[in-house]
């Protein structure tokens, strides 16, 4: 059986260690990328304070962005900001290059840092409060809601309209199952791989999932699913796991199908761009110019992903770590994201805009169904955890986003 060396193991709530087979240690060195530099980190790079452009002198000369995982197509809207003249720091697992607005230099650089195993699974919001150089990062709205008393962050841009998180199953075994709720009428257990999260509590509490079917044991993924021979369902990314099971896991080698958690009723904003809450005022001049640039990058990625997907695959190869990611997987993630509405315009056809009513629903859900120590601070409102003030309402993706 061929098992990928390392695949995504993301907890929808709190991060947990990877359980995909045997995870190799991260390699210490790799060749530098096409920028032609060595492994030394960039100090201002090709942008920098001396450069000219709409962000020069307004934003930091290098905008540091902390991701939540290894490079992958789900990060496409952020990697689409990187210009061709980039360098890799393989020790720090970061790429630095000119921050571009399409073909136009903005006058500053962007440094994108790898998350997940590279940072011991620390959340970007926590890293932002231990490293002042990090200006922006990824955050899930359901996660940042209960953290406002300890590490207050505010979401300024939605990179995805829906979360790619899903429950999937074998259509050969369960041809009549079309939704997560239909699994109640089958013998299937739902493998959560040790996860205990608000979304599970919510879907159980609203009757979508039978609580007796939840299997929260730390199972080996994908081995446990394969060993069940189609009997069980599993939690994962609809933009990734179906490709993996059909094309990379030889012991399975056939399609799985699923439903998004979002379409079952849990309205998460996944991988929203977050900033430290005090910076919403302190860095407002920067964000008012930067966020529209980021909106255009997301729209470009939705409309034309080829160049960015190639970049992501190339830098994964250059990092030469346990994370393996190929061109076909990246193409699948994009096309499936578009098909499922993960990559889509927000309210009013505006890319990256938040729906305040949806955020309020998430606040209510976390308050009523939060797991463990998750609690909602008193008086929390949507404008505590998100803002549309920097969004340009004229920016949309132009691709027909349904197929």
- pLDDT for residue 15: 33
- Check whether domain 165-264 has CATH 3.30.360, yes or no: no
Rounded Cα gap, residues 312 and 74, in angstroms: 10
The residue to which tokens 């359980």 are assigned? 19
Distances (CA, A) of 148 to 1, 254, 268, 304: 45, 43, 17, 36
Longest dimension (CA), the chain: 64
- pLDDT for residue 5: 36
Rounded Cα gap, residues 353 and 341, in angstroms: 15
Q: 27-39 pLDDT, tens per residue?
A: 333 323 334 333 4
Where the chain has pLDDT below 70, the residues are 1-50, 372, 399-403
Rounded Cα gap, residues 99 and 78, in angstroms: 10
* Residue 138 phi, psi dihedral angles, 5° rounding: -90, 145
Beta carbons of 166 and 261 less than 8 angstroms apart: yes
Beta carbons of 250 and 226 less than 8 angstroms apart: no
Per the DSSP assignment, residues forming a β-bridge with 236 are 166
Q: Would the pTM count as exceeding 0.75?
A: yes
**Percent of all residues in the chain with a pLDDT value above 70, rounded to a whole number:** 86
Beta carbons of 196 and 372 less than 8 angstroms apart: yes
Beta carbons of 182 and 173 less than 8 angstroms apart: no
Beta carbons of 18 and 219 less than 8 angstroms apart: no
Rounded Cα gap, residues 215 and 231, in angstroms: 13
The reply to whether domains 62-162+268-385 and 165-264 share a CATH topology is yes
- Check whether domain 62-162+268-385 has CATH 1.10.10.60, yes or no: no
- pLDDT for residue 225: 97
The residue to which tokens 């939605």 are assigned? 158
Torsion of CA 65, 23, 26, 45, to 10 degrees: -20
Rounded Cα gap, residues 313 and 324, in angstroms: 9
- pLDDT for residue 63: 98
- pLDDT for residue 194: 78
The residue to which tokens 């650089």 are assigned? 109
Q: How many CB atoms lie within 10 A of CB 282?
A: 12
Rounded Cα gap, residues 248 and 267, in angstroms: 30
Q: 128-144 pLDDT, tens per residue?
A: 999 999 999 999 999 99
- pLDDT for residue 11: 39
Contacts of residue 293, defined as CB under 8 A and 6 or more positions apart, other chains included, come to 54, 55, 81, 99, 101, 106
Domain residues of the chain, as ranges?
Answer: 62-162+268-385, 165-264
- pLDDT for residue 399: 53
Rounded Cα gap, residues 13 and 19, in angstroms: 16
């Amino acid at each position: 059986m061929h098992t990928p060396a390392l695949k995504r193991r993301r907890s929808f709530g709190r991060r947990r260690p990877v359980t995909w087979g045997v995870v190799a240690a991260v390699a210490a060195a790799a060749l530098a990328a096409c920028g032609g530099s060595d492994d030394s980190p960039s100090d201002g790079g090709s942008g920098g304070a001396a450069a000219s452009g709409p962000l020069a002198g307004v934003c930091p000369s290098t905008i540091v962005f902390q991701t939540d995982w290894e490079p992958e197509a789900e990060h496409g809207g952020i990697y689409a900001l990187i210009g061709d003249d980039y360098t890799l720091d393989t020790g720090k697992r970061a790429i630095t290059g000119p921050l571009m607005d399409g073909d136009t230099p903005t006058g500053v650089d962007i440094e994108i840092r790898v998350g997940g195993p590279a940072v011991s699974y620390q959340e970007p919001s926590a890293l932002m409060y231990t490293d002042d150089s990090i200006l922006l990062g990824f955050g899930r709205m359901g996660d940042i809601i209960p953290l406002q008393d300890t590490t207050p962050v505010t979401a300024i841009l939605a990179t995805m309209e829906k979360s790619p998180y899903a429950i999937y199953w074998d259509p050969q075994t369960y041809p009549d199952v079309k939704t997560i709720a239909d699994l109640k009428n089958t013998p299937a257990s739902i493998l959560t791989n040790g996860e205990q999260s608000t979304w599970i509590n919510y879907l159980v509490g609203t009757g979508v999932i039978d609580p007796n079917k939840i299997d929260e044991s730390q199972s080996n993924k994908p081995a446990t699913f394969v060993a069940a021979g189609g009997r069980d369902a599993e939690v994962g990314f609809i933009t990734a796991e179906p490709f993996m099971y059909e094309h990379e896991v030889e012991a399975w080698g056939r399609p799985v199908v699923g439903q998004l958690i979002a379409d079952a009723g849990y309205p998460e904003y996944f991988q929203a761009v977050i900033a430290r809450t005090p910076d919403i005022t302190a860095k407002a001049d920067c964000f008012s110019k930067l966020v529209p640039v980021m909106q255009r990058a997301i729209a470009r990625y939705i409309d034309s992903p080829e160049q960015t997907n190639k970049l992501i695959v190339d830098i994964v190869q250059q990092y030469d770590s346990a994370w393996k990611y190929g061109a076909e997987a990246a193409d699948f993630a994009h096309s499936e994201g578009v098909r499922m509405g993960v990559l889509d315009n927000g309210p009013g056809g505006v890319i990256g805009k938040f729906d305040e009513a949806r955020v309020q629903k998430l606040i209510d859900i976390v308050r009523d169904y939060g797991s463990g120590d998750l609690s909602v601070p008193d008086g929390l409102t949507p404008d505590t955890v998100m803002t549309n003030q920097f969004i340009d309402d004229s920016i949309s993706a132009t691709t027909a986003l349904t197929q």
